[in-house]
Structure 1
Amino acid sequence: MFNPNEMANKDPAALLAKMQRAPYAARFKEVFGQNIFADPTKAFTQAMYAIERFELEDPSFHPYTSKFDYYLDGKVQLTAQELRGKKLFDDPAGGNCASCHIDQSGVNGAHPLFTDFNFQALGVPRNAELKVNADPKYFDMGLCGPLRTDQSDKLNCGLFKSVSLRNAATRHVFFHNGRFHTLKEALRFYVQRDTNPDKWYPRDAHGKVDKFNDLPVALRVNVDTTDEPLTRKPGERPVWSERDIDDVAVFLATLSDGYDLKSKAVK
């Protein structure tokens, strides 16, 4: 609500002033009391609660109408290519994607969210398109700032939350800094980061590849180099070929909501 790069409200008072002028102000008072705005602290708390309940309860926020959802329910089959992509996605010795982006149903049958909500440091290249990055001393270090100020442990620097991959095929920016603009390019970086670093990172004044260049040098040790497929060395073969990348991208497209089940149902 208060991030200058997002909703950019100055403070809770500014937000509540907007709410009182909004078309839904009367409805807000119906739900939380006619005098709710007389207590700014309570009004702000209830506003956040309303958003929380919407995200949890309203079907439009999580329709789960993708081909993969219908596949889990036995209503449609995946193609051979989609199944190949899923196998590559799941393979712990290969893409190892499912270790963070869980694709198995829950014990109660709930469909997967495709995230474990943990935090990872992947060393994504610096994005020159961002105005703040024109300052070479500026670094977005995720959990440890500069936007967050509640973490002081340097081991958290460079860590960002593993996002859900639902609807990933419909996105136009990928990773925390929006460095990549196509799904296949994001996948390609993921498996070639260490085998072909010169493809993703610039060279410094001495001609050396400036790997993990979107973090201060002292904090680059936080980047994951122990989990597959982030363990490779320059010159080694990436765990995925171009065909594999195509297959994984096709599988991820099955996570897009709005699949036309009626014309594709299992006979």
Structure 2
Amino acid sequence: MANASAALAKDCSPASDGNNPCPVTLVRPPVAPLSAMAKLGKALFFDKALSGSGQLSCASCHAPSAHYAPDNALAFAKGGVAMDKFGVRAVPSLTYRERQPPFSVGPDNATSETAPPPPPPPSVKGVKSASNTGASAQAMVPQGGLFWDGRADTLQSQAAGPLFDTREMAATHEGVAARLRHAPYSADLFRLIGAHASDDMLIAEALFALARYQIEAPSFHPYSSRYDAWLEGKTRLTRDEAEGLRLFNDPAKGNCAACHLSAVDEEGRPPLFTDHQYEALAAPRNPLAPKGTYDLGLCAAGRADIGHNGAYCGFFRTPSLRNSATRKVFFHNGVFTSLRQVMNFYVLRDIEPGRFYRPPANKHSSPYDDLPSRYWPNVDKIDAPFGKRKSPTLTPNEREKIETFLSDLTDH
């Protein structure tokens, strides 16, 4: 089989019979028995008694059967001490986070041995194209981090977010510490960290154990989709699947691979179908969202390294498309409930805005109804398939073929 660099250097579009003309051997994460810390993390992941209500565990919203995403169609998860509150964003999947880089602005901040300087203002946005994905990776753009707004850098800090959010698991410091001292797994915890650990140490180690479980357990990153098998030359794509992949990668058609990278990387690792960057796409307002508020995304994440920079308002992290065909809601606010709606939005947002937005204040203003007008210039209007065009870049039939291809990204 071809090596990764050779595959990247040639056209690897599906052959006429659906075969991969340049198969590779994918480099997947190693599989080994879970460490003692990861086993502890697994017990914590399914422990409802950690929550303030006693009814929610991590697995309640990140169901293993749904690729660690919600197994229901709720736009916002239900939680709180009395289970009478709702979160404010759609719950993302926890899969494929083992390669998630920490947040940075530009290509070098995350690897600097000293504290990075304050980020410069965002550079003028360049066109993102599926034919040249490397250009944006080197630009001064926000990238990396966890949550929709990048506010956490590690799985350990990410786990603390929903655990202590009053609208979600609604746990307290005292309640979590008490549970950790008197749970069925407490003996294992104390064997790992010592019998005289403080409450702060107990909680920090519990969060670390949750992170280790997600890093080590193969179910969080199986790379077992039909597309992975095709990359390795083990299966053929149907005619519609192959055409969907071509349209996905074509910079003049779907241009999806500009942000959702579909190629094996130089190390031979399977594609994650994200560039880890942030985009302002102006998703329509979800009628279920809290009234009188805007979710500004990255600029309101509370990150000390960027502050409240208006140039980042409306930006949200580009998610992986792996297992997207099994999701029930899409975008940060769960406004869409099918891939068909998502495809229509990308292709028709700037051509038929009335399909997605409430009528604008006047005929000369932009229609975006979930972003204050002062931030409308941040919205991506240059990357295909966005932008004013005489006709859509994708026909309804072509959109359907891309959907067919996306089903090949579901893990089995």
- Normalised by the length of structure 1, the TM-score is 0.86
Deviation of 1:210 after TM superposition, in Å, equals: 5.5
1:245 aligned to 387, 396, 399, which one?
A: 399
Q: Which residue of 1 aligns with 2:316?
A: 160
Deviation of 1:67 after TM superposition, in Å, equals: 0.5
Equivalence map 1:123-142=2 (5 Å)? 123-130=282-289, 132=290, 134-135=291-292, 138-142=293-297
1:48 aligned to 207, 232, 241, which one?
A: 207
The answer as to whether partners of 2:360 and 2:367 remain within 8 angstroms in 1 is: no
The answer as to whether partners of 2:241 and 2:404 remain within 8 angstroms in 1 is: yes
Equivalence map 1:112-191=2 (5 Å)? 112-130=271-289, 132=290, 134-135=291-292, 138-145=293-300, 148-150=301-303, 151-191=307-347
Q: Which residue of 1 aligns with 2:69?
A: none
Q: Which residue of 1 aligns with 2:246?
A: 87
> How far does the alpha carbon of each residue in 1:12-31 deviate from its partner, in whole angstroms, 9 at most, with x for none?
44433343344333322223
Q: Which residue of 1 aligns with 2:409?
A: 255
The 3 A distance-change label for structure 1 pair 203 and 76 is: same
Q: Which residue of 1 aligns with 2:262?
A: 103
Deviation of 1:205 after TM superposition, in Å, equals: 5.0
> How far does the alpha carbon of each residue in 1:29-63 deviate from its partner, in whole angstroms, 9 at most, with x for none?
2233333xx32333333222222222222101112
Aligned length, in residue pairs? 247
Q: Is the partner of 2:164 in helix, strand or coil? A: coil
Q: Which residue of 1 aligns with 2:160?
A: none
Structure 2, unmatched stretches of 5+, are 1-162
- Separation (CA, whole Å) in 2 of partners of 1:254 and 1:244: 16
Q: Which residue of 2 aligns with 1:262?
A: none
Q: Which residue of 1 aligns with 2:351?
A: 195
Q: Is the partner of 2:325 in helix, strand or coil? A: helix
Deviation of 1:113 after TM superposition, in Å, equals: 1.1
- Separation (CA, whole Å) in 1 of partners of 2:174 and 2:259: 38
Deviation of 1:156 after TM superposition, in Å, equals: 1.1
- Normalised by the length of structure 2, the TM-score is 0.57
Q: Which residue of 1 aligns with 2:375?
A: 219
Q: Which residue of 2 aligns with 1:15?
A: 176
Deviation of 1:152 after TM superposition, in Å, equals: 1.4
Amino acid of the structure 2 residue aligned with 1:252: L
CA RMSD of aligned residues (A): 1.9
The 3 A distance-change label for structure 1 pair 237 and 68 is: same
Q: Which residue of 2 aligns with 1:4?
A: 166
> How far does the alpha carbon of each residue in 1:94-128 deviate from its partner, in whole angstroms, 9 at most, with x for none?
22111111111122211111111111110000000
- Separation (CA, whole Å) in 2 of partners of 1:165 and 1:22: 37
Structure 1, unmatched stretches of 5+, are 259-267
- Separation (CA, whole Å) in 2 of partners of 1:22 and 1:243: 55
- Separation (CA, whole Å) in 2 of partners of 1:158 and 1:21: 44
The 3 A distance-change label for structure 1 pair 44 and 167 is: same
Identical columns (%)? 38
